[in-house]
């Protein structure tokens, strides 16, 4: 089975990517259109203000009262402030909705990715796509698209008014603005690539920070803080370099734009002053033109910043799209709202399988390969209801692969797997997994309280069912001895509990749904002898609830099983009770002897 590798950003036509961005913001088009309308009203008011200022000057020069024209100018400024504020607020709110939508979609997709896909990617980089890249897209949705549209309309309107007032001064302004636009276009073609490199660098940095912090105990005990710090500093330096390239490109556009606008203002002021002095132009017209020349900076700046934001968003959107294209599990009951019949609930299925003497689990001539490497070759065995079967074998024999297949992380290449008499091909993954529980070797716990961890599978669990799982897992004494009982925090990965306590919490969590089959991955491997003995007693009590399939290495764990399945090189070499295998199989006897 090949590892999926869809994590790299893909390219594509510029128009296609802009179309993808527009589809992303389409659900919020009404809000965006409303914000654009308000901002355009503000644009109109900003164009009216120079004309009103000119009218104030004209009234003052002619000796007429300026009260009405001045009141109109002040009113235009106030109304502009209201519409501009309202428009930008709606933009920001729409951007936050887009951000929520993108992050929710990404998070849901990442949780449903196929296990082989997740194993081929770096978690930290995926996290950066949910956090950093989605924020960049949000900025484009919240401002860049509207900045470009309103900036273009404002620029056209400003140009029209300037031509109306004095075409000669306008021609001076348009030459310098064209120079600025040319500089902007040269920069725009490079900013998207630089932004994508920046996002990739930050993703790599996030991935390695996550790796170092997850294994911080290993880092510290190996005195590797300095080495990890040096490595993270190198990655931070790469992100810094990429950020500097982006900053330089953005900085190249701003001076050219400001110089052009400032230059046009100064030249226009000189030429206009001469024309006013010669009687070729009124002073009120010069005032209006100067204000408009200054206002040209605003739409040109909006176009530049909006274009930069759009280019950055397109780079981030490519990474997000490539993530969403990664193959996910076919959880049909989630997508199609398939509901299992009431009499097929886990407990009912277990009792029916027991009454009908169906096996809790069956492997029928199962074959499985990773890429071209064969892992399982014709494996056939069964676990009866309330049975206890141990998988034994050297590392690489295929034990963990059996667990992965039972958990539906993978599907077999050939053969069949049945749970309570039903084939995996007949059931969606979600329904299948509702009838199994997995107790992993390291018993991972989540940050939160004991209650959060025990009820993780069913947060709304009734108190009676919760107490039943606690009693059965042997957690009652621990809970009773804690000041806050079930509300006691367990710390990150359960570090505030001992190894045996973590195993019991994980066991209680696994028992919540009354599974048909429980998978135990060497549950006593990291426990001392006394804790191991106590947990084995608890596990034997669990047999009254469900069948057990255990990956076993310790002799004490193997002896507890009814049947031992001895795997070697992906095949079942022998199976039967432990004592019988010891008597008849030298390879098994050697393996077990090495573990004594």
Q: Tell me which of 145-154, 185-194, 499-508, 528-537 is least confident.
A: 185-194
Q: What is the average per-residue pLDDT within 83-107?
A: 82
What does pLDDT average to over the chain?
77
- The predicted model gives 36-41 an average pLDDT of 83
The answer to whether residue 334 scores a pLDDT higher than 60 is no
pLDDT for res 13 = 65
Judged against a pLDDT cut of 70, whether residue 353 lies above it is answered with no
Q: How confident is the model at residue 368 (pLDDT cuts 50, 70, 90)?
A: very high
What is the pLDDT averaged over residues 204-231?
A: 69
Task: State mean pLDDT over 345-349.
Answer: 44
Q: Can you read off the two tokens belonging to residue 235?
A: 């990655």
**pLDDT exceeds cutoff 90 at 563:** yes
Instruction: Look at residue 89 in the predicted model and tell me its pLDDT.
Output: 84
pLDDT the model gives residue 250? 66
Architecture of domain 14-329: Up-down Bundle (1.20)
pLDDT at site 297: 66
| Residue 521 confidence class, pLDDT cut points 50, 70, 90 | confident
537 Ramachandran zone, left/alpha/beta (phi>0; psi -120 to 50)? alpha
As a whole-number percent, the residues of the chain with pLDDT over 70 amount to 80
Q: Where are the domains of the chain?
A: 14-329, 445-498
Q: What is the mean pLDDT of residues 25-43?
A: 81
Cα distances (angstroms) measured from residue 408 to each of 123, 536, 567? 21, 27, 20
Across the range 519-528, mean pLDDT stands at 73
pLDDT above 90: residue 363: yes
Name the pLDDT band for 384 (thresholds 50, 70, 90): very high
Q: Decide if pLDDT at 566 tops 80.
A: yes
What pLDDT is stored for residue 218 in this prediction? 55
For the chain, how far is it from start to end, CA to CA, in angstroms?
A: 36
At 142 the pLDDT is 65
pLDDT of 583 over the 80 cut: yes
The mean per-residue pLDDT over the stretch 271-292 comes to: 76
Most confident of 6-15, 98-107, 196-205, 285-294: 98-107
Measured from the Cβ of residue 482, the count of other Cβ atoms closer than 10 Å reads 12
Report d(CA 50, CA 573) in Å as an integer: 92
Q: Average pLDDT in the 567-576 region?
A: 92
CA-to-CA distance for 565 and 581, rounded, in angstroms? Answer: 10
pLDDT of residue 377 exceeding 50: yes
Query: Which range among 80-94, 234-248, 392-406, 544-558 shows the weakest confidence by mean pLDDT?
Result: 234-248
The CB-side HSE value for 357 (13 A sphere, CA atoms) comes to: 0
Nearest to 286 by CA among 302, 274, 298, 304: 274
């Amino acid at each position: 089975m090949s590892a999926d590798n869809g994590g790299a950003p893909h390219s594509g036509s510029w128009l296609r990517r802009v179309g993808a961005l527009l589809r992303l913001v389409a659900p919020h088009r009404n809000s965006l259109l409303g914000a654009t309308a308000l901002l355009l009203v503000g644009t109109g008011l900003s164009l009216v203000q120079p004309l009103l200022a000119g009218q104030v000057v004209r009234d003052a020069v002619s000796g007429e009262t300026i009260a009405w024209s001045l009141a109109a100018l002040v009113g235009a400024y106030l109304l502009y402030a209201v519409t501009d504020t309202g428009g930008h607020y709606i933009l920001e709110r729409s951007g936050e909705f887009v951000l929520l939508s993108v992050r929710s979609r990404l998070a849901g997709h990442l949780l449903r990715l196929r296990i082989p896909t997740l194993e081929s990617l770096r978690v930290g980089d995926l996290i950066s796509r949910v956090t950093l890249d989605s924020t960049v897209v949000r900025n484009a949705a919240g401002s860049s698209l509207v900045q470009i549209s309103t900036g273009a309309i404002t620029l056209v309107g400003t140009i029209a008014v300037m031509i109306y007032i004095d075409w000669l001064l306008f021609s001076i302004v348009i030459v310098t603005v064209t120079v600025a636009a040319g500089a902007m276009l040269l920069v725009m073609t490079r900013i998207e690539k630089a932004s994508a490199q920046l996002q990739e660098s930050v993703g790599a940095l996030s991935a390695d920070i996550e790796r170092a912090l997850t294994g911080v105990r290993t880092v510290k005990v190996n005195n590797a803080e300095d080495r990890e710090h040096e490595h993270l500093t190198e990655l931070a330096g790469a992100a810094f370099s990429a950020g500097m390239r982006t900053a330089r490109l953005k900085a190249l556009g701003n001076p050219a734009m400001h110089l052009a606008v400032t230059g046009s203002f100064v030249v226009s002021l000189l030429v206009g002053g001469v024309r006013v002095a010669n009687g070729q132009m009124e002073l009120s017209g010069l005032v209006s033109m100067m204000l408009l020349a200054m206002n040209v900076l605003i739409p040109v700046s909006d176009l530049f910043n909006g274009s930069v934001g759009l280019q950055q968003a397109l780079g981030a959107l490519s990474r997000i799209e490539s993530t969403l294209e990664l193959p996910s599990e076919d959880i049909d009951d989630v997508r199609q709202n398939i509901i299992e019949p009431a009499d097929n609930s886990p407990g009912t299925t277990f009792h029916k399988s027991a009454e009908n003497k169906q096996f809790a689990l069956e492997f029928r001539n199962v074959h499985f390969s990773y890429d071209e490497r064969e892992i399982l070759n014709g494996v056939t065995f069964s676990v009866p209801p309330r049975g206890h079967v141990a998988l034994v074998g050297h590392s690489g024999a295929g034990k963990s692969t059996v667990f992965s297949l039972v958990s539906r992380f993978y599907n077999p290449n050939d053969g069949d797997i049945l749970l309570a008499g039903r084939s995996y091909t007949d059931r969606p993954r979600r329904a299948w997994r509702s009838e199994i529980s997995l107790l992993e070797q390291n018993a991972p716990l989540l940050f939160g309280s004991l209650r959060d961890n025990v009820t993780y599978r069913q947060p709304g669990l009734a108190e009676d069912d919760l107490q039943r799982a606690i009693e059965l897992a042997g957690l009652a004494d621990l809970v009773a001895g804690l000041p806050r009982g079930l509300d006691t925090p367990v710390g990150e990965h359960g570090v505030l509990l001992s190894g045996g306590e973590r195993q019991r919490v994980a066991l209680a969590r696994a028992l919540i749904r009354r599974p048909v089959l429980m998978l135990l991955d060497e549950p006593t491997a990291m426990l001392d002898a006394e804790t191991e003995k106590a947990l084995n007693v608890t596990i034997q009590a669990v047999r009254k609830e469900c069948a057990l399939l255990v990956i076993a290495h310790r002799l004490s764990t193997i002896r507890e099983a009814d049947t031992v399945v001895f795997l070697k090189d992906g095949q079942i070499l022998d199976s039967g009770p432990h004592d019988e295998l010891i008597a008849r199989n030298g390879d098994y006897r050697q393996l077990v002897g090495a573990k004594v």
